[in-house]
Amino acid sequence: MRALCQREASSCGACCGLYNAADPSPAAVRARLDARTDALAGLPRTPEAFRAAAARAARHEPPPLFPSVRVCPLLGWIDAPRTRVGCLAHPAVTGGPDLRDCGAYDRGTCDAFLCPSHAWLAEAEAEMVDRACADAVLYGLVVTDVPFVRAALGAVGDLAGARVQARHLDDARFRQALREVLALKEELEPGSEGLFGAFRPGQDGEPVPRLIDYASLGRGPSPHDALLTCAGADPRSGNDLDRLEVEVRRRLEACTRAFPG
């Protein structure tokens, strides 16, 4: 199993186009996963049946927000209670045949792809993101954005006066408060830089920092600049910087109050 795609409490389908639609809200994402899972349920596990079903499902998908990023109609719920997102064409899910050639890419591409977070995110960070998100929608938005994870954990640690560690997430109140900080990702305008992690490598291969153009707003930088910048709070992304700044402060302070020490 890949280290980040299927975790103990969370799962991710970001690279299969999970969020690539005008409405990336949790309800809309879940509805799309429901529709695809229903469309493939009970079908023969054959390439012909899957290709035809994928083509039918694709016709009902909303247009992608970013046309250059493919949206795979074979991404759905892989467990009966519909808590875990994953590939419905994978042999571990079909019970035998590998049907990934019927999707948006081909089997080799699906098999080989690892998002950049696999190289950057430390296991302890991944564990904290998994336990704080504990779902199939918020997790994928967060785990694919390493600068955001580090900015969030760093901001909480700075305010609390101690580095956040995995053991702190044993505390349910703190876990929920940290989730609220990470859930800023679910409240950004569609197409926001911060929504999809917006990975842009510089010449050295490291990510190019994102920036908020404070000067154009006639104000100085926010004390929460690192987190707001990673969240893509720049008004040019369509977000209300002042509202997000208030939210960031409120959620960070709640985290500090719940910090188990």
Footprint of ligand SF4 on this chain (CB under 6 A)? 2, 4-5, 12-16, 72, 74-75, 87, 89, 100, 103-105, 110, 113-115, 117, 140, 143-144
Residue closer to ligand SF4 by CB (options 71, 169) is: 71
Assess contact for 33 and 74: CB atoms under 8 A.
no
Residue 218 beta carbon to ligand SF4: minimum distance, rounded to whole angstroms: 38
- In the bound complex, which residue of the shown chain has the CB atom lying closest to ligand SF4? 103
Q: How many beta carbons lie within 10 A of that of residue 161, not counting itself? A: 9
Which two three-digit tokens encode residue 228?
């707001």
Give the Cα separation of 95 and 9 in Å (integer). Answer: 23
Residue 88 beta carbon to ligand SF4: minimum distance, rounded to whole angstroms: 7
Residue closer to ligand SF4 by CB (options 66, 113) is: 113
Give the Cα separation of 80 and 197 in Å (integer). Answer: 30
**Side chain identity at residue 238, one-letter code:** G
Residue 106 beta carbon to ligand SF4: minimum distance, rounded to whole angstroms: 8
| Maximum alpha-carbon separation in the chain | 61
Residue 148 beta carbon to ligand SF4: minimum distance, rounded to whole angstroms: 14
Residue 132 beta carbon to ligand SF4: minimum distance, rounded to whole angstroms: 16
Burial of 25 by CB count in 10 Å (0-12 exposed, 13-18 middle, 19+ buried)? middle
Please name the residues in contact with 178: beta carbons below 8 A apart, sequence gap of 6 or more.
128, 132, 152, 156, 164, 169, 255
Give the Cα separation of 36 and 60 in Å (integer). Answer: 9
Residue closer to ligand SF4 by CB (options 4, 156) is: 4
Assess contact for 126 and 4: CB atoms under 8 A.
yes
Residue closer to ligand SF4 by CB (options 12, 195) is: 12
User: Locate tokens 């600068």: which residue?
Assistant: 147
Quick one: which of 39, 34, 31 has its CA closest to 56?
A: 39
Residue 193 beta carbon to ligand SF4: minimum distance, rounded to whole angstroms: 17
Residue 213 beta carbon to ligand SF4: minimum distance, rounded to whole angstroms: 29
| DSSP letter (8 states) at residue 75 | E
Residue closer to ligand SF4 by CB (options 37, 256) is: 37
Residue closer to ligand SF4 by CB (options 102, 252) is: 102
Residue closer to ligand SF4 by CB (options 200, 243) is: 200
Give the Cα separation of 195 and 185 in Å (integer). Answer: 6
The helix or strand, by DSSP H or E, that contains position 33, with its residue range, turns out to be helix 26-40
